[in-house]
């Protein structure tokens, strides 16, 4: 997906897709299984965060957008690890998220 996004430049004129909770959960599952590293998850989130041509599943006050923000910005939020995976999973279940960083 990242290579395909890169072929469109930073912001395409059309919406290229929608990031859903299932997408984030799939990435987190790959992180937890060791199929993806924290750096790879960070790169994924960083490449989609802030794009006007990628939408986010909306609901529960934007938890998908918030999850991508956390993953794209570990230096100001939390390290990308199992604790963060649990925070995101909890946020998806409750629809609420913490406003404070580490």
Greater confidence (7 vs 78) lies with: 78
Q: Is 101 among the domain residues?
A: no
pLDDT tens readout for residues 32-84:
999 999 999 999 999 888 888 888 887 545 899 999 999 999 999 999 999 99
Polymer length in residues for the chain: 102
Please determine, for residue 10, whether its predicted confidence score (pLDDT) is greater than 70. Answer: no
Taking residues 18-27, report their average pLDDT.
94
**Domain ranges, residue 86:** 2-94
Q: Cα dist. 76→9, 17, 33, 71, 100 in Å?
A: 26, 27, 25, 10, 10
What is the spatial distance between Cα 28 and Cα 62, in angstroms, rounded to a whole number?
18
How many Cα atoms sit within 13 Å of 94 on the Cβ side?
9
pLDDT tier for residue 96 given thresholds of 50, 70 and 90: confident
The number of domains in the chain is 1
> Are the beta carbons of 80 and 42 closer than 8 angstroms?
yes
Q: What's the pTM? A: 0.82
Other beta carbons within 10 Å of 59 = 12
Quote the pLDDT of residue 100: 52
Quote the pLDDT of residue 22: 95
Quote the pLDDT of residue 60: 47
Q: Is 20 among the domain residues?
A: yes
Q: Is 99 among the domain residues?
A: no
- DSSP codes, 39-64: HHHHHHHHHHTT-TTEEE---TTTHH
């Amino acid at each position: 997906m990242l290579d395909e996004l890169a072929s469109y430049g930073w912001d395409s004129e059309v919406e290229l897709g929608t990031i859903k909770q299932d997408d984030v959960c799939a990435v987190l599952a790959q992180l937890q299984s060791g199929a993806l590293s924290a750096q790879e998850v960070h790169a994924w989130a960083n490449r989609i965060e802030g794009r006007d041509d990628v939408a986010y599943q909306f609901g529960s006050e934007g938890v998908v957008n918030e999850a991508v923000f956390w993953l794209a910005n570990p230096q100001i939020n939390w390290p990308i690890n199992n604790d963060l995976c649990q925070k995101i999973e909890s946020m998806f279940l409750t629809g609420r998220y913490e406003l404070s960083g580490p």
